[in-house]
Amino acid sequence: MKAVQVSRFGGPEVLRVVDLPSPSLSPDAVRIRVAAAGVNFADIQMRMGLYPEAPPVPFVPGYEIAGTITEAGPAVISLKPGNRVLSLCRFGGYATEVVLPAAFVRKIPAGLTDVEAAAVPVAFTTAWILLMDMARVRPGDRVLVPGAAGGVGTAAVQMAHGAGADVVGLVGSSAKKELVLSLGAREVFTYAEWSSTLRPASFDIILEPRGGRDARRSLAFLAPAGRMVCYGVSSFVRGFRRSIPRAALSLLGMPIFTPIGLAMANRGVFGLNILKYFDAGTGILQLGTALDGAIKGFEKGRYRAIVGKTWGLEEAGEAHRRLQSREGTGKQILLE
Please state the domain extents for the chain. Answer: 2-119+306-335, 123-275
What pLDDT, on the 0 to 100 scale, is given for residue 336? 82
What pLDDT, on the 0 to 100 scale, is given for residue 256? 80
Q: Which of 79-83, 122-126, 283-287, 307-311 has the lowest mean pLDDT?
A: 283-287
DSSP 3-state of 71? strand
Tens of pLDDT along 304-322? 999 999 999 999 999 999 9
What pLDDT, on the 0 to 100 scale, is given for residue 146? 97
What pLDDT, on the 0 to 100 scale, is given for residue 253? 66
What pLDDT, on the 0 to 100 scale, is given for residue 250? 62
Three state DSSP letters for 32-64? EEEEEEEECHHHHHHHCCCCCCCCCCCECCCCE
Write the single-letter amino acid at 197.
T
What pLDDT, on the 0 to 100 scale, is given for residue 232? 85
Homologous superfamily assigned to 2-119+306-335: Medium-chain alcohol dehydrogenases, catalytic domain (3.90.180.10)
pLDDT at 247 over 90: no
pLDDT at 116 over 90: yes
pLDDT at 264 over 90: no
Whether 294 contacts 300, CB under 8 Å: no
Q: Is 87 left (phi over 0), alpha (psi -120 to 50) or beta?
A: beta
What pLDDT, on the 0 to 100 scale, is given for residue 46? 92
Kindly report the pTM of this predicted structure: 0.93
Whether 156 contacts 132, CB under 8 Å: no
CA atoms within 13 A on the CB side of 11: 9
What pLDDT, on the 0 to 100 scale, is given for residue 278? 86
Cα–Cα distance measured from residue 91 to residue 54, given in angstroms and rounded to the nearest whole number: 8
**C-alpha triplet 159, 108, 308: angle, nearest 5°:** 60
| 295: nearest Cα among 85, 138, 68 | 85
DSSP 3-state of 110? coil
Averaged pLDDT, 148-153:
97
Q: How confident is the model at residue 242 (pLDDT cuts 50, 70, 90)?
A: low
pLDDT at 53 over 60: yes
CATH entry, 123-275, from 3.40.50.720, 3.30.2320.80, 1.10.357.10, 3.30.1180.20 = 3.40.50.720
What pLDDT, on the 0 to 100 scale, is given for residue 202? 95
Q: What percent of the chain has pLDDT over 90?
A: 79
What pLDDT, on the 0 to 100 scale, is given for residue 236? 67
